[in-house]
Structure 1
């Protein structure tokens, strides 16, 4: 892209008060960003019904030249790209959205935009079982040939990205900052892996900090890029439910993993299931619903927190695991159920922790861990 065209796109994107909706009206009227700024203020006012933001179009935003220079330098780095609305490489699923990004910064494997994808979202503070479910579902989807999309947030997002990177199909991260920043900082190494092995996307210019309004906006892109959205764990007041609603609104499938009726972490998932989301227990449930090719019959079947039948039905289950069930439980409750002394229970629980069959939660709670 010529520098003057790049400068025009960034100016249109950054002009105060314009926004994506008015920018699209201007683009429809004049054909391109350079043509917009070559037009007269009178022509702008005619397109925007005399709106006062036309005054802002008359001069470049503060710091514009520095942003253009920084973007030019960034684009010189390996695998850094700038896609604009109408570009042949622009994600086609987003062309169906009511509010697609005008400009898209991308870093990594652009070819992943041509592969069918599924979004995985959920709590920023998941249970250990929830994080494991996200990892295993993402890994199995990647093995089946689907790209996993998520938002690089802590918790379920990070686990989903990690799981997808363990398979051959990779992952796409859609972030709410400029691509020269990483948020949260704890995911700096993960973001580096995604930029190398997967794909990072942002509709925000370089240098954009993690502002709160950007993340709900980003959710529409996560929901709209794939063929569906899987919600792993979500409380009733969760951004993941917003993503699921946006997925429904743009005609995508919504899937949810159930859990204990006593866990606040899955009440959002149960709400989605009541509203028509598909309850899933295995990756194959998703692949079947999406009618994913004839080769998916052999795709890995992935478990969740739901009860699973042991491979050998004749092998008796550990009595303590039976007493623990699948709901987070206190040591006192286990003592009451089993009648065993607290000291013996503590030793046995530690053994089960070390063998990854039980996890210890905050508040001295213990929860069984399934092998997803």
Structure 2
């Protein structure tokens, strides 16, 4: 079995954290304080990661979908555990929906959406057959590219003279209310909750003792980078930041250095498709491996094609437009009624029960 290195785990987790937030703009509901929302979400997300890594240590050698049967028994644990691969499959279809919407509104206006999204899905199918080894190597190669592009963007923005620090002020104009509304429930789950999928792969790392530090570091750095993106966007767009669906894409269109460097939206496109591609690949790999372990199929690759077809079909049909896709399905339904129970509530309950079984009951039996 291939074992991913510490650097590869960091690169995968970091890019996965960026996800589609890097192009959508995090916390627009908080207005010019969006960057504060991101930093607070990342800080609180550390406590969520501590829950996940504690469960990993208490269930040594087991993956996410094996934790619940191990502690709750097969009859209760398996029905709960199977919800996670289903959620990962659904979330992968949502990212495909994000790709569909961005392509149709910013890039290829007249190209049939099924063609572009199908090509995206085929590439994901290819990397799924390669497995965690291919994904981890892809991540370690693209990680420095993303950092270099970020530095180039910052340099060009400063050189363009379009940034105005005064647009970031006044800080906390409306108090902490809008910030906290962004932080919970959406911010914490986006910053750390979705990272639970890596519990499907932590058993395949070369240095499991470093997982907690690597995951926390990646969350903090990714959160800081997204906060910086928000600050850059707000310093240029001002109060209009919250009105743009793709603020980073809009921001890059305003870059103009001399007469030869302008309209660098291609950087935003590279950001988006790289992070979306890896994000979707991880979600689908976690989904098919989860199903494989629960139904005891020898090779997860048998599930790869059906999973990609389902994700593509859902991604193309789950919503009619971006308003329904993001503002209704995501904010109104997915986050409060699915993410909170599965990313926060169930792992916390599992941690408490596991602790009682391993500490309290063991003490009673030996007393």
Q: Scaled by the length of structure 2, what TM-score is found?
A: 0.20
* Greater length-normalized contact order (CA 8 Å, ≥ 6 residues apart): 2
Higher gyration radius (CA): 1
Q: Scaled by the length of structure 1, what TM-score is found?
A: 0.19
Higher helix share: 2
Higher strand share: 1
